[in-house]
């Protein structure tokens, strides 16, 4: 991963994906255990536990299935070049985020995971290009973070600081070749 090359390819990290998938499976089992412990009869005493059980099973079940699919995905996790960032590292990725569309970045941390939020001029265009499943999650991100686009290094073969350094280098190259670009940190 040389940040000064024409194109930076960051592979998916299979060991990280295995750990994330195993963690998801543990939470699915926990959700099943909670559901079994309170039973199927809905009462005022069981509704909260049943809801938590269902949400845990559905959410972490989806992440486990996604993790298993990523284990057999041999496309790069991220491709960063003079045009933009092609994200294949997350469930909502898959689109090219063009430098010309980017108006700023922000870094947030949710528990121990850092995310690079990418603010674009035309968020609805990115949302509308996505399939129904991705659109749902992108809209949720947009409501919560004011952008549908974010990247973490959780499934990538690099750490977050390396990811930021590569993106900054490529952005600066783009800015240098496109004088007059009005870019600002969001």
Q: At what angle do helices 14-38 and 47-71 cross, to 10 degrees?
A: 160
Q: What is the pLDDT of residue 46?
A: 85
**CA 77 to CA 43: how far, in whole Å?**
45
Q: What is the pLDDT of residue 85?
A: 96
**CA 78 to CA 86: how far, in whole Å?**
6
pLDDT in tens, 72-100: 999 999 999 999 999 999 888 889 999 99
Judge whether 141 and 147 are in contact, CB under 8 Å. Answer: yes
Res 40 pLDDT > 70: yes
What is the pTM for the complete model shown? 0.78
**CA 89 to CA 75: how far, in whole Å?**
9
Q: How many CA atoms lie within 13 A of 170 on its CB side?
A: 28
Query: If we measure between CA atoms, which residue out of 182, 179, 171 comes closest to residue 82?
Result: 171
Q: What is the pLDDT of residue 52?
A: 94
């Amino acid at each position: 991963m040389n940040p000064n090359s024409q194109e930076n390819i960051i592979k998916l990290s299979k060991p990280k994906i295995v750990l994330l998938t195993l963690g998801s499976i543990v939470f699915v089992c926990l959700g099943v255990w909670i559901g079994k412990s309170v039973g199927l009869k809905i009462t005022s005493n069981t509704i909260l536990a049943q809801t938590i059980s269902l949400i845990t099973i559905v959410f972490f079940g989806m992440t486990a299935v996604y993790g298993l699919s990523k284990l057999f995905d041999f496309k790069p996790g991220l491709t960063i070049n003079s045009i933009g960032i092609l994200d294949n590292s997350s469930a909502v990725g898959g689109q090219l985020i063009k430098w010309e569309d980017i108006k700023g970045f922000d870094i947030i941390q949710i528990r121990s995971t850092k995310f690079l939020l990418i603010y674009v001029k035309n968020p609805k265009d990115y949302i509308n290009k996505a399939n129904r499943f991705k659109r749902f999650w992108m809209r949720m991100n947009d409501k919560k973070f004011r952008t549908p686009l974010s990247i973490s290094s959780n499934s990538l073969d690099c750490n977050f600081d390396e990811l930021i350094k590569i993106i900054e280098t490529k952005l600066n190259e783009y800015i240098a070749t496109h004088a007059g670009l009005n870019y600002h940190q969001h």
